Structure 1
């Protein structure tokens, strides 16, 4: 067990209704923020690794943006994969962790080959693989991806319609443990949208994630968005399990309704990573990193949050 070093903060646990239904039918699409963006990261920041960047082939990006504009929020940066990489690296981001996911059987190999090719072109990309849980040959798909140099796996419960504790995930978990590769899985309940083919509030819960953490103690599991919206539950999991990581993506940007879950940044500061969700954001590319930098964290804690923890998780030191 790891005790959180700070007293409870008034804003660490937003009421569930504040985050529930980020993409509810009566609110979607959400508005653009139209906030000011910086030309590059501040020179006062420690090394920044963006641990949550999406890279897809052009047609997949176009389809994804079409979905977001109808059901989510307007995409501010409609950049294709190589332009995404150039944009972030030219503005002071040291490295990026590239994420993608397959929404139907038969896509994963091509997506993995695409990202592996980008990594060969630009060594500052730490590319992850994907697979559709339960699809034939899942173990072989991941073995091939790891053989191409991909650093882990990305899954998305909402898009791929699975629960973290389903039997179909065992092959994925075992492959990650065997290869010592981290798994990033969007297992938080938000954003909930009626446009998904499944209900993330039925599929996802911190309790289901805990079953995985307990059954696979050798699995390095990272849950994005600080586990939104079950922040209290993920704080307890952080205290209890040494194989859990979280990333901040969009949860600290102050775009959605409700106060930011600051407590999670201090509970186990060595287990939280900065991520942006770039380019699929409705606000300035540096919005979240500016807010993190303004929190007044100790220098070593900020350095771990914005870069050091990603290095350790992905073995890129």
Structure 2
């Protein structure tokens, strides 16, 4: 298991392998048995974390995803069974999280939606998300996921899926989701890898076509974070998540500290996200990379749980 990797390999070995750079000389722990961020949460009066960006797939697909990460020397801190991963989230004081997944080929998305319906709806704290893909029947099975399965949103990954958001085949789906106000988490940015259809040049016209669509831009749109943030003034239903942006692992860019001010400026439009379990550092590092910087208590509370509670109308708090 990967926690053992942290015991057997030095920081230098972790730092010098792989395609992505690290900031500084001392790497964060790959895994923490006792999370080191709990005291920080208490200092900021954050009772729990609402993590908008966590991944759950059928086990055989998750193993294939991990195999891809292995090929690019991207360590997986939480390479555990689903049951163990749920325990880790609870231990890290994560009370709410999402079942984000995505399809990279036809005839996959509908299967994933059914898997979410059959496996995720009864998990405490999990918000069930599905996905879709430009293919025959996409509007039909998207409606089914909402109206029959009760899924709360959808995830799209423009780089992995080689997905152009402006495809005519998806127009009716986006119109439906816009009408129903069902949110989308979209990996549309150019980091960590640029895709054929990633970036603001594809996303901006998409939002022009569907201006009322509820969209959460994953990874704050890295590596064009300010360009995406400029769209806040135009689209009231546009949001971002902080996934992997301010950590020492520089997959989302090497100058992200320059945009930390956006957390205060747009505190009501930004959610915390982690990319759990597929992160090459402990969960605490993702939390501390924000809370150990110059951030107000109000903004920290909004980003780590209040915004998402309001966005998803969690009944216990409304």
* Same fold flag (TM > 0.5): yes
The residue aligned with 1:37 is 32
Q: C-alpha root-mean-square deviation of aligned residues, in Å? A: 2.2
Contact 2:109–2:131 under 8 Å retained in 1: yes
Consecutive unaligned residues of structure 1, counting only runs of 5 or more, are 1-25, 193-198
Q: Is the 8 A contact 1:253 1:287 kept in 2?
A: yes
How many angstroms apart in 1 are the aligned matches of 2:161 and 2:256? Answer: 29
Name the structure 2 match of 1:211.
Answer: 205
Sort the Cα spacing of 1:286 and 1:106 in 2 relative to 1 into closer, same or farther, 3 A: same
Deviation (angstroms), 1:214 = 2.0
| Residues 76, 280 of structure 2: 8 Å contact kept | yes
Report what 2:271 is aligned to. 273
User: Residues 69 and 30 of structure 1: is their aligned pair in 2 closer, same or farther, counting only changes over 3 Å?
Assistant: farther
2:52 is paired with a residue of what secondary structure? strand
- 2:304 aligned with 1:306, yes or no? yes
Look up the SS of the partner of 1:158 in the other structure. coil
Please list, as runs of the form range in 1=range in 2, the aligned pairs for 1:6-155 lying within 5 A after superposition: 28=19, 33=27, 35=29, 37=32, 39-40=34-35, 41-42=38-39, 43-44=41-42, 45=44, 46=46, 47-71=48-72, 73-132=74-133, 134-146=134-146, 147-155=148-156
Structure 2's unaligned 5+ residue stretches are: 1-16
Matched, 1:286 2:277: no
CA contact (8 A) 1:126 1:151 kept: yes
Deviations 1:200-246 (A, max 9, x none): 1x411213212222221220011111100002211211233212111
2:216 is the counterpart of 1:222: yes
Counterparts of 1:123 and 1:225 in 2: how far apart (Å)?
25
Cα shift at 1:33: 4.5
Whole-angstrom distance in 2 between the partners of 1:91 and 1:74: 19
* Cα distance between partner residues in 1 of 2:93 and 2:21: 29
The TM-score with structure 2 as length reference comes to 0.83
Are residues 1:167 and 2:162 paired?
no
Contact 1:29-1:71 at 8 Å conserved across structures: no
Return closer, same or farther for 1:218/1:259 CA change in 2, 3 Å cut-off.
closer
- Render the CA deviation track for 1:66-122: whole Å, top value 9, x for unaligned: 101112512121123333222202331111122001111111222112222333331
Runs of 4+ displaced beyond 4 Å: 29-34
- Deviations 1:99-157 (Å, cap 9, x if unpaired)? 0011111112221122223333313100111111x211111111111121210010000
Contact 2:21 2:249 in 1 (8 A): no
Give the stretch that moved more between structures: 92-101 or 273-282: 92-101
Distance of 1:102 and 1:81 partners within structure 2? 19
Q: Following the alignment from structure 1 to structure 2, what is the Cα–Cα distance between the partners of residues 305 and 97? A: 16
Change (3 A) 1:163 1:34: same
Task: Indicate if the aligned counterparts of 2:18 and 2:74 stay in contact, CA closer than 8 A.
Answer: no
Instruction: State the structure with bigger RCO (CA 8 A, min sep 6), 1 or 2.
Output: 1
Question: Does 2:245 align with 1:251?
Answer: yes
Q: SS of the residue aligned with 1:52?
A: coil
Looking at secondary structure, tell me which structure has more helix per residue.
Answer: 2
Bigger shift: residues 159-168 or 63-72: 159-168
Residue 274 of structure 1 deviates from its aligned partner by 0.3
